[in-house]
Structure 1
């Protein structure tokens, strides 16, 4: 990672608006399949009681734009110095990674331009309110808070209507693109899942690139993670034959689980969402799919406090 990218990432930490939405909780299984919980370095981030355009948020949005712009310039030196529209149109979008990078550049470019050129162009509406509470006191909330961008332009007025939850996913995807830089395997699965969450929270967009935003093409995996606060199961009973990996599934309350598996020098996180589970509680995944769940060294170090040689 270049020094400039590293400096900007560190700055996001310092202003306490770090956009990472991932957290992992360790679950160790005993011989009788009892579970004991532990923590790696859990991060429980939400959009908070109010996520409006604070000074920190303005700075973070500008910093996120600079991050992805610098990343694009590093990977595409022929585009250095081009204007934003030309850069977007010339960007490759043949892979899942490049497609997501291109569309996130489009979104944060519109937000950046609104901040820089018209401080009235970004507004907010909606509220987060409790709509019900179950018998044990767990509340369900309805969040209708939105960011609205309405930027007047000489060639075309540009508009964006997006829920604030979608904005949090946008922030995370840009940060994660810079963190991993060349995401593959499990990291690419995270990226694709977060991007699909992002676009599901966009109500409408109209800018100089078009009047819609496409879903991410299924170029690497049809699996999508349901959530990003996840449990990692260690010591699960895992067997294999020539074609498949079999996992004895732990009956557990969280639908967002990964099963930790080492094979040689490689580490995999096998998501519950990827497993075909029979009536006996045995999960199965084909070995041809394993590359989609391989974990990078940088990911292991940050989220699971582990290192591999």
Structure 2
């Protein structure tokens, strides 16, 4: 599975696929309390031709990856219809629920392109899908930015480079929520609503600084970070910490107002699994 995913995504990147992986910057600290920001681009963007000029082709290729991922994750669903797959995908946790709803939206768009291609239009920065089948109306209207979040979410699931832990869930809840907010209307054989995940932690997904081993102290089983950097409201930061030969990546959203975290929370939820975001330990 990894080989197929890798080569397909590499090809999509090479033909200019654009998605919104977080831009990761690193912040290092000197002995005098100063800091240095190191910037590296994280977005995927090819260099020759652009598949962004052919949105139907981009979608079909990403849908194929998603369908393959569903079959690999739930082998018992292989050979089932798309509708049967959607109904059979578990939804007992946020990981499953969001994946299930992404597949539902993808199914709606895919059937439009395959069976009613004239019903698929992108104009005025909106995707508009509208067709009927066996007396059921299928409709989806979403902003182009929401469509890009939709693609990003699928790639994050399929690629698996954020793992499946708390960090992935926090990023995915934000991307998924942003996608939903950009959906003006949806209707299919299931409902006119998109199911939402829990209200647990969300992590700002677009630009994040990684603070490399900032000064910290431990008291009453709490780790307190000495951080006085100012960040815009739209930007997040993560604290990279190495403790007893274990690596941790703690998002600011998991810290309290005093920039503290319980050691038990750190050990349970915030082990760094990688490979994304990549930690530049050579800085």
Deviations 1:208-230 (A, max 9, x none): 12110121124xxx221234211
Deviations 1:252-307 (A, max 9, x none): 233411111122343222222222224xxxx112233323332213225xx33569
Structure 1 Cα separation of the partners of residues 52 and 6 of structure 2: 25
Query: Aligned residue for 1:37?
Result: 37
Query: Aligned residue for 2:251?
Result: 271
The answer as to whether partners of 1:223 and 1:273 remain within 8 angstroms in 2 is yes
Query: Aligned residue for 2:279?
Result: 304
Structure 1 Cα separation of the partners of residues 191 and 100 of structure 2: 13
The answer for unaligned runs of 5 or more in structure 1 is 127-144
Query: Aligned residue for 1:134?
Result: none
Query: Aligned residue for 2:107?
Result: 109
Structure 1 Cα separation of the partners of residues 164 and 79 of structure 2: 26
Structure 2 Cα separation of the partners of residues 217 and 91 of structure 1: 18
Shift >4 Å, 4+ stretches:
none
Match of 1:170 among 150, 155, 159: 150
Query: Aligned residue for 1:21?
Result: 21
Q: What are the residue-to-residue correspondences of 1:200-219 with 2, within 5 Å?
A: 200-218=181-199
Aligned residues: 274
Q: What are the residue-to-residue correspondences of 1:134-173 with 2, within 5 Å?
A: 145-173=125-153
RMSD in angstroms over aligned alpha carbons? 2.4
The answer as to whether partners of 1:160 and 1:205 remain within 8 angstroms in 2 is yes
Query: Aligned residue for 2:264?
Result: 288
1:189 and 2:131 matched: no
Structure 2 Cα separation of the partners of residues 147 and 52 of structure 1: 16
The answer for unaligned runs of 5 or more in structure 2 is none
